[in-house]
Amino acid sequence: MERVGFQSTKPRLWVRSVKPSIRELFNVAALKAAGYSVRWGFSLDFVPLMWTKPPRWKRTNKSANFDLIVEPFDQGSEEFVFHHLPGCYEVDRATIQRIAEGSTRQALSDFENVTNLEDIARMFTWAERQPIKRFGLENYVQSHLAWGLTLLHLGEREKGHALVAKACELHRFDSADRLLSKAIADADSAPART
């Protein structure tokens, strides 16, 4: 991933910042039973990380965290899943190479298709419509909040506020939290942008 401008910020996590307010993330996530699933997505600078105590901003590559996740395993695909436990069962290099090339190609294609906040909003709509075999948007803590704040930035006030309220209800965010209140106020007062 470094060859295409990503920075390794944690083990198995790479981040690239080439678009205003949007960071691209690529991750090899650990699963149960020594499994791993490749996923990618976006971190939005204007969305506070609400599941930490206290909530905090994530406006650097080091602090970036998923707001929108594309994980093919969630839709039932095991194309980018592998199991590896040294000494027990080890994945061969050809499998790792196939997964690395395929997942990188798909992630980079998705990243190329997102250049602004309108594209992010479209990606959320796409993610919501995907068939769910494992986790959907509601299972990812940041998703509805990020989608709502994105829509507020785009001037879609009614749906944006409804999604923020849904996030607060689903994940028990304190709607009066200082950072969340600031994020909402900033998004509400922002001129509609893309």
**Which DSSP category does 191 fall into?**
P
User: Domain-by-domain residue ranges, the chain?
Assistant: 2-189
Tens of each residue's pLDDT in the chain, 194 residues: 778 889 999 988 999 999 999 999 999 877 777 777 788 999 999 999 988 888 999 999 999 999 999 876 555 556 656 665 566 666 777 877 887 888 888 899 999 999 999 999 999 998 888 776 666 677 778 899 999 999 999 999 999 999 999 999 988 999 899 999 999 999 998 776 65
Alpha-carbon radius of gyration of the chain: 17
User: What are the counts of helices (DSSP H) followed by strands (DSSP E) for the chain?
Assistant: 5, 6
Please, what sign has the CA dihedral across residues 127, 129, 134, 137? positive
